[in-house]
Amino acid sequence: MNAPIFALCKASPAVTALLGNAPLRLYPGEADEGTPYPYAIWQGIGGAPENYLGDTPNMDGYSLQIDCWAETATGASDVAKAIRDAIEGSAYVVSNRGLSRDPETKHYRYSFDVDWLVER
């Protein structure tokens, strides 16, 4: 019962070129300390089943926040574009949070939100 973000990103040559393939550096929640850059994390920020009168739901809705981390601004943006392109046929980008820089590590993060409807 999750949005298929990992499967779609793993199937994308553009994403695996940036985030590797074995393992794919795309993590739920957070990455382990020392994870090489670039990488991306995703977390659920909302969602609900599609409810109908007189019928059981046949779809679940998910809202995800995706954070793409890299050593450079261009690197973070490139990862975000690759992930967006990999999932946009199945999900809708609903918010671009943009680029920021962590004051301690000086690494860059590009963040965006997507909404997803997944058939059961």
In 3D, which of 94, 85, 91, 90 has the Cα closest to residue 113? 94
- SS3 string, the chain, reads CCCCHHHHHHCCHHHHHHHCCCCCCEEECCCCCCCCCCEEEEEEEEEEECCECCECCCEEEEEEEEEEEECCHHHHHHHHHHHHHHHCCCEEEEEEEEEEECCCCCCEEEEEEEEEEEEC
pLDDT mean across residues, the chain: 95
Is pLDDT above 80 for 1?
A: no
Q: So what's the pLDDT on residue 52?
A: 87
Domains, the chain, ranges and CATH? 5-51+58-119 (3.30.2000.30)
Portion of the chain with pLDDT greater than 70, in percent: 99
pLDDT tens for residues 39-84?
A: 999 999 999 988 888 888 899 999 999 999 999 999 999 999 999 9
pLDDT tens digit string along 88-102?
999 999 999 999 999
Model pLDDT, residue 2:
84
